[in-house]
């Protein structure tokens, strides 16, 4: 799979600003080619960081001329000037972002999802499971 990663979109959700960068493999080396940003939308009226992520990616689309989004969905895999091969995201928000996690079984995948989120610095608000 490593050789198939030629176009990567990466985002970082900060406390106030969400950044998006486009990383492209050029001449065998990865390069950051474009960068966009938008206000983080964790507060009202949106209360959903996804909107800020999409806005930052839209700025990268405008700067690069690459179509990355189909509505609210990231297009994968990359074909020509459309889509990306993978999407990665981080959070640099101070104090962590509030998050809900889910699993199939509370005592197994629910707890694993919670440990994963906590390990990434999130504030887990609730854990949902099919056997709740």
Per cent of the chain over pLDDT 90 is: 74
Residue 107 contacts by C-beta under 8 Å, 6 or more apart in sequence? none
Find, among 93, 88, 90, 10, the residue nearest to 56 by Cα. Answer: 10
pLDDT at residue 3, as a whole number:
57
pLDDT at residue 1, as a whole number:
46
Question: How do the domains of the chain map onto residue ranges?
Answer: 7-91, 98-129
Task: Provide the phi-psi class of 48: left if phi over 0, else alpha when psi is between -120 and 50, else beta.
Answer: beta
Q: What's the angle, vertex CA 96, arms to CA 107 and CA 7, rounded to 5?
A: 90
Dump pLDDT digits (tens) for 69-100.
Answer: 999 999 999 999 999 999 999 888 777 778 89
Average pLDDT, the chain: 92
CATH number of 7-91: 3.30.420.40
Position 35 pLDDT exceeds 70: yes
Mean pLDDT for 96-112 is 89
Mean pLDDT for 19-29 is 96
pLDDT at residue 39, as a whole number:
95
Using CA of residue 117, residue 76, residue 45, residue 63, what is the dihedral sign?
positive
Position 4 pLDDT exceeds 70: yes
pLDDT at residue 45, as a whole number:
84
Q: How far is CA 102 from CA 5, 52, 72, 85, 129, in A?
A: 29, 22, 21, 26, 6
């Amino acid at each position: 799979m490593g050789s198939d990663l030629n176009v990567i979109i990466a985002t970082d959700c900060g406390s106030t600003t969400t950044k998006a960068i486009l990383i492209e493999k050029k001449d065998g080396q990865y390069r950051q080619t474009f960068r966009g940003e938008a206000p983080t939308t964790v507060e009202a009226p949106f209360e959903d960081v996804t909107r800020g992520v999409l806005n930052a990616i839209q700025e990268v689309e405008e700067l690069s001329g690459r179509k990355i989004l189909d509505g609210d969905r990231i297009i994968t895999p990359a074909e020509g000037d459309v889509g990306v091969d993978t999407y990665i995201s981080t959070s640099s928000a101070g104090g962590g972002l509030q998050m809900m996690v889910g699993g199939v079984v509370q005592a197994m995948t629910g707890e694993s999802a919670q440990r994963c989120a906590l390990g990434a610095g999130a504030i887990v608000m609730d854990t949902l499971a099919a056997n709740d």
